Chains A and B, each alone.
Chain A
Amino acid sequence: MKLLTCPLNGTRPISEFFYGGEVRAMPDPDTCTDTEWSAYVFNRSGVAAVKCEWWCHGPSGVWFLAERDTTTDTVLRTYLAPSAATRR
């Protein structure tokens, strides 16, 4: 079973984690068009690439980021989200 390293709790089997989706920037709801907003809500990137993803360590509730190459399913690094806020 695959291993994943939580930045705080260490390396654990993947069964201890929940996947939270790719990190995506939200368009400004006040200025974007309906089409841009719908694309954000319903579309996801299917490209095979190195993606930045949200992951949660279930038993501790820690949310962190992982850079994962989806072509090989290799996690390049995991780290806590930086304190700078994303949009809103």
Chain B
Amino acid sequence: MTRRSPLADWHLQASYCCAGVPVWLQDCSWRQRFGCKGPEATPWLEALGFTVPQPANSCAFDANDILVARLGTTEFLVEAMSATTQSVIAARERLSVPGVYPVIRQDAAFILGGPRATDLLLETCSYPFASDARSTPVVMTSMVGAGVTVVPRRAGETTEFNVWCDPSFGLYLWSTLVEIAQEMGGGAIADGQQSTLRGES
């Protein structure tokens, strides 16, 4: 396997918890993603068939669960959130077009979920997620001293938080949050348990 999550060193010693805990984290660094920026980035993405959100710091999920997040005004993060990855991989290959600059994305990425996810955020992040009234926000802020990008997403009754951070901070951020989650009666879940949590098959 030539690719390895930035959190892999943590997984070597991991003890995972089961579905149904009050707060859980799941490593999603493996997802296919790319970044781009530049004056021609928006038309280029649209021409490739991606759903591009217009307002600054907002995002869109299309029918194939592809996320396009506008970071600021002219930078994008495009990520395949589920199994359909072909369009993302193909686009990444074609990223040398005038006016579109590639942004390498080797993030540590994870989902924070569960009924007490907001409590964990209140211990670690000073952004008031609960009073952000926007429908599809992208929040760039700081969590336990590390810069993060956060995209909240409704999942049934609760909100899940997709988090990306610089891979060199990833292990520190992940293990700090997992330790707090464990104090709350939760922890890290291994891949594959999340769909059970959301009541899907």
The 6 closest A-B pairs by CB, nearest first: A60-B140, A59-B147, A59-B140, A8-B56, A59-B141, A59-B142
Known contacts A58-B142, A59-B141: does B126 contact A13 (CB below 8 Å)? yes
CA distance A79 to B142 in the complex (A): 22
A39 proximity list for chain B (CB < 8 A):
none
For residue B140, which residues in chain A have a CB less than 8 angstroms away from its CB? 9, 57, 59-60
Q: Kindly report which residue of chain A lies nearest to residue B134, judged by CB atoms.
A: A10
Chain A residues numbered 14-31 whose CB sits less than 8 Å from any CB in chain B? 15-16
Q: A8-B72, A59-B141, A62-B72 are in contact. List 18 more A-B contacts (CB 8 A).
A: A9-B57, A9-B140, A9-B141, A12-B141, A15-B126, A15-B142, A16-B141, A57-B140, A58-B142, A58-B147, A59-B140, A59-B142, A59-B147, A59-B148, A59-B149, A60-B71, A60-B72, A60-B140
Question: Chain B residues in contact with chain A, CB under 8 A?
Answer: 56-57, 71-73, 126-127, 139-142, 147-149
Chain A's nearest CB lies how many Å from the CB of B101?
14
The total of Cβ contacts below 8 Å across the A-B interface reads 30
**Cα distance A74–B78 when bound, in Å?**
39
The interface residues of chain A lying within 8 Å CB-to-CB of B71 are 60
The distance in angstroms between the C-alpha atoms of A8 and B55, with both chains bound, is 10
Given contacts A58-B142, A59-B148, contact A12 B72 (CB under 8 A): no
Judge whether A8 and B57 touch: CB under 8 Å.
Answer: yes
Residue of B with least CB distance to A62? B72
CB distance from B169 to the nearest CB of A (A): 12
In this complex, what residue of A is CB-closest to B165?
A59
Residue of B nearest to A61 (CB): B72
Q: B73 to A16, Cβ gap below 8 A?
A: no
